[in-house]
Amino acid sequence: MKFSIDRENFQYVIQNVQRAISPRSPLPVLTGILFQCGNGVLKLTATDMEMSVVCSVPVDVADPGDLVIPARYIAEFAKRLPDMPIEIETIGGSRLATIRYGQSEFNINGYSASDFPLLQVPEGEFSFTVSSEELRDIIRKVIYAVSNDDSRPIFTGVLMEIEGTGATLVATDTFRLAMKKFVLDAPAPGLINVVVPGKTLNEVVRVMGVSDGVRVTLSKNHIMFETEDTVITSRLIPGRFPSYRQVIPEDFECVIRVSVRNLLDSADRAALLAGERNSLILFQSAREGIVISVRSENGWIREDIEADVEGENFDILFNVRYLCDVLKSCEGEEILVKLTGTYTPALLTPHGDDSYLAVIVPARASKE
Amino acid sequence: MKFSIDRENFQYVIQNVQRAISPRSPLPVLTGILFQCGNGVLKLTATDMEMSVVCSVPVDVADPGDLVIPARYIAEFAKRLPDMPIEIETIGGSRLATIRYGQSEFNINGYSASDFPLLQVPEGEFSFTVSSEELRDIIRKVIYAVSNDDSRPIFTGVLMEIEGTGATLVATDTFRLAMKKFVLDAPAPGLINVVVPGKTLNEVVRVMGVSDGVRVTLSKNHIMFETEDTVITSRLIPGRFPSYRQVIPEDFECVIRVSVRNLLDSADRAALLAGERNSLILFQSAREGIVISVRSENGWIREDIEADVEGENFDILFNVRYLCDVLKSCEGEEILVKLTGTYTPALLTPHGDDSYLAVIVPARASKE
């Protein structure tokens, strides 16, 4: 393997694939990045066996070949490179990569490319294309509701339901739920119902930031996100996503229209006293608006927020983090908070946007 | 106590004193900030009993008074305040502070101001004034050589020696030493020789950033740094700073002139392979320049750096962190590295600046 590359491209490809690595993998080769060069292209691959990221850039190839280079060293080294052309070479079948820059050189022991596991992905069954900006927005609106609890893997993923050109993403950790609908550029051949790992979608948001369009391809057990130079492939989470429709309330006793900014700022201040464990705030609807309050041994806070309130008034205990997560994912100026009772789920929707909703299950008051 | 203040001033005073607090102090009152208002001024004080920071701003005082407010809550709360006038009040002799903003209020339990310990500082014996820019530069040039080892307190401080208008700061952790000379605007009445805690000087750099001039006052056991609105007072470290002059080599077998930037970049890359514990690099002077190299089980690096070398050539083992610390503190384009042998201290001075020097003691090679 021998090729030359400029610093900017070198840093770009490494940064794009780097996060897919499992730094503490028991398989040493997985702590590395697979370098493959040939036909004027350098292709880098990193994987944790669940997800892989592949990124390609044009380079001057003097000698095609491949090698796995430890990610930790090569990524830190790339950041520190001087701004000059870099030449990377492995001599014969050796596993030593030599990087030359000016009069200096860096030599790093790698692993054989033949030991690197590649995800085998079957033919895609259905593809659609979405702008990277829209995809980022869609993901951001549901990803916060994903569970971190690996003991119930299905909740660590996001349900993707497709029927015709209508697509829906749903995430829930059983305490709250977020749902976002969007329209595809091509109809699906049948009903599609898959669960995409939350980790994969986070990586998609990070890597796809600068590209124009993202092509999404679904196959039986995999999902693939492609831009011009980068491909993220991930296993889907097996199992059945729980039926979520009955969780979404439909009839309301109270509808509140309030500024997202004001409610978020108030909730943020109240969170200060809300404790670390369950972070509860008391949310009260009244004729003139909303009152948020918290009492703790250290003091108390009362936030009066102007709002349009229609219907019955309720006192509800919310986990303030859940409330803030929803508010942070809204771009609009106003949000509707729709209540059905003190202990029944609340529905939150941006005012004037039917494509997005969030459900928060209230907490039960502890006996004092 | 009752006063009103705008958000910007409120955030400014809190931020300025906040870091002097000892958050894990066994004395709860020390986890708070002392608020004192009267005569149109709000004065905040925080202390860890070694150092105190006092910051004052003009406010509208409706009722003079004082209270200690837990720093953790008030600092976080101040960051989240809306941009509107804020009113702070304690009713009668109560220890509850009520902060009103718009229709909302935050109430936080405090401590009695009479429980707050104030540093008693004797009359100053000598004062001088220095621009904040110069003070920051002087401190930055020596502070990195201070020891973090509390078992030998004298090395955690910076020696300040004054004779006439000549002042010298010296710091050493016994493995390296940094010395910076500067000229005072007024002569000292006699020889002054005090040791200022490194922590205090770090705080001075942080807080004094925006002021024009800093007045430094020395008394028997204390040092004080004053700007228009902020006063940092600190105990001096008792004991005798070790005699350092004989550590500074005077005759050299080899003098190297090299670009600070090039040497720093090369050392930075070499550090990647230099290991975490003692971080050794091999520094070799040769006719054409310097070669820095490291060999580890993961690979090896060789950096060729252009330099003017005069005299005998040596191979020296440096702790790469020590070398980088010196280089980062230099503004000039070139540095002189002066060697006396393989195992004897090296002297580093910016080319064309006699006011600053650093000494690094080489490591001994481990038997291989």
pLDDT in tens, A90-131: 987 789 999 999 999 999 999 999 999 987 777 878 999 999
Among candidates B76, B107, B299 on the partner chain, residue whose Cβ is nearest the Cβ of A299: B107
- Nearest chain A residue to B110 by CA: give it: A298
Taking any CB pair shorter than 8 Å as contact, residues of chain A touching chain B are 70, 73, 76-77, 80-82, 96, 102-109, 265-266, 268-269, 272-273, 297-304
User: pLDDT band for position B23 (50/70/90)?
Assistant: confident
CATH class for the domain made up of B126-245: alpha beta
Q: Which phi and psi (to 5°) does residue B316 adopt? A: -130, 140
Whether the complex's predicted ipTM surpasses the cut of 0.85: yes
CA gap A347, A186 in Å, rounded: 31
Say yes or no: do domains B126-245 and B251-360 share a fold: yes
pLDDT score of B366 more than 60: no
User: pLDDT band for position B217 (50/70/90)?
Assistant: very high
Compute, in degrees rounded to 10, the torsion defined by CA atoms B20, B25, B31, B36: -70
Q: What is A69-119 written as a DSSP string?
A: EEHHHHHHHHHT--SS-EEEEE-TT-SEEEEEETTEEEEEE-B-GGGS---
Contacts of B282 in chain A (CB under 8 A): none
B132-143 vs B198-207: helix axis angle to the nearest 10? 140
CA gap B57, B9 in Å, rounded: 7
pLDDT, averaged across chain B = 94
CA gap A44, A53 in Å, rounded: 8
Query: What's the pLDDT score for residue B210?
Result: 65
Contact check, Cβ <8 Å, B301/A272? no
CA gap B28, B45 in Å, rounded: 15
Query: What's the pLDDT score for residue A118?
Result: 84
Alpha-carbon gap: B20 to the closest alpha carbon of chain A (Å): 22
Contacts of B73 in chain A (CB under 8 A): 272-273, 298-299
To test the contact with chain B by mutation, choose from A103, A276, A327 the residue with the greatest count of B C-beta atoms within 10 A, namely: A103
Contacts of B265 in chain A (CB under 8 A): 80, 82
Contact check, Cβ <8 Å, A73/B272? yes
Contact check, Cβ <8 Å, B106/A298? no
- Nearest chain B residue to A83 by CA: give it: B265
DSSP, res B29:
G
Contact check, Cβ <8 Å, B301/A80? no
To test the contact with chain B by mutation, choose from A81, A269, A276, A284 the residue with the greatest count of B C-beta atoms within 10 A, namely: A269
- Nearest chain B residue to A97 by CA: give it: B299
User: pLDDT band for position A365 (50/70/90)?
Assistant: low
CA gap B71, B17 in Å, rounded: 10
Place of tokens 């077998």: B253
Burial A106-124 (b: 16+ CB within 10 A, else e): bbbbbbebeebeebebeee
User: pLDDT band for position B294 (50/70/90)?
Assistant: very high
Contacts of B295 in chain A (CB under 8 A): none
Closest alpha carbon to A271 in A304, A305, A319: A319
Does domain B2-115 fall under CATH 3.30.559.10? My reply is no
CA gap B323, B170 in Å, rounded: 17
Segment B115-171, tens digit of pLDDT: 999 877 778 789 999 999 999 999 999 999 999 999 999 999 999 999 999 999 999
Whether the Cβ atoms of residue B11 and residue B78 lie closer than 8 Å to each other: yes
Contact check, Cβ <8 Å, A70/B103? no
Alpha-carbon gap: A67 to the closest alpha carbon of chain B (Å): 15
User: pLDDT band for position A207 (50/70/90)?
Assistant: confident
Query: What's the pLDDT score for residue A367?
Result: 42
Does domain A249-360 fall under CATH 3.40.50.300? My reply is no
Alpha-carbon gap: B91 to the closest alpha carbon of chain A (Å): 15
Query: What's the pLDDT score for residue A23?
Result: 80
Q: For chain A, first and last CA: distance in Å?
A: 71
Q: A207 or A231: which carries more pLDDT confidence?
A: A231
Percent of chain A with pLDDT over 70: 98
Contacts of A293 in chain B (CB under 8 A): none
Query: Any idea where the domains of chain A sit in the sequence?
Result: 2-115, 126-245, 249-360
DSSP, res B111:
B
A-B C-beta contacts closer than 8 Å:
72
Contact check, Cβ <8 Å, B105/A70? no
Among candidates A73, A108, A265 on the partner chain, residue whose Cβ is nearest the Cβ of B82: A265
Alpha-carbon gap: B79 to the closest alpha carbon of chain A (Å): 9
Contacts of A300 in chain B (CB under 8 A): 107
Contact check, Cβ <8 Å, A104/B304? yes
Contacts of A80 in chain B (CB under 8 A): 265, 268-269, 272
CA gap A85, A99 in Å, rounded: 10
Query: What's the pLDDT score for residue B119?
Result: 77
Contact check, Cβ <8 Å, B299/A77? no
What is the pTM for the complete model shown? 0.90
Contact check, Cβ <8 Å, B106/A269? yes
Segment A241-288, tens digit of pLDDT: 999 999 999 999 999 999 999 999 999 999 999 977 779 999 999 988
User: pLDDT band for position A366 (50/70/90)?
Assistant: low
To test the contact with chain A by mutation, choose from B89, B104, B108 the residue with the greatest count of A C-beta atoms within 10 A, namely: B104
Query: What's the pLDDT score for residue B91?
Result: 85
Structure tokens at A42: 């350098």
Q: Which residues does A2 contact at the CB level (< 8 Å), separation at least 6?
A: A37, A61, A62, A63, A65, A87, A88, A89, A90
Taking any CB pair shorter than 8 Å as contact, residues of chain B touching chain A are 70, 73, 76-77, 80-82, 96, 102-109, 265-266, 268-269, 272-273, 297-304
pLDDT, averaged across chain A = 94
Contact check, Cβ <8 Å, A105/B302? yes
> Considering just the CA atoms, what is the radius of gyration of chain B in Å?
25
Alpha-carbon gap: A283 to the closest alpha carbon of chain B (Å): 14
Contacts of B109 in chain A (CB under 8 A): 297-299
Query: What's the pLDDT score for residue A19?
Result: 87
Closest alpha carbon to B187 in B167, B207, B164: B164
Alpha-carbon gap: A90 to the closest alpha carbon of chain B (Å): 13
pLDDT score of A368 more than 50: no
CATH architecture of B251-360: Roll (3.10)
**DSSP reduced 3-state for B318:** strand
User: pLDDT band for position B367 (50/70/90)?
Assistant: very low
Q: Are strands B356-360 and A157-163 parallel, antiparallel or unpaired?
A: unpaired
Contacts of A297 in chain B (CB under 8 A): 109
Q: Which residues does A250 contact at the CB level (< 8 Å), separation at least 6?
A: none
To test the contact with chain A by mutation, choose from B106, B292, B294, B305 the residue with the greatest count of A C-beta atoms within 10 A, namely: B106
Segment B71-95, tens digit of pLDDT: 999 999 999 999 999 999 998 778 9
Segment A9-63, tens digit of pLDDT: 999 999 999 989 988 888 899 999 999 999 999 999 999 999 999 999 999 999 9
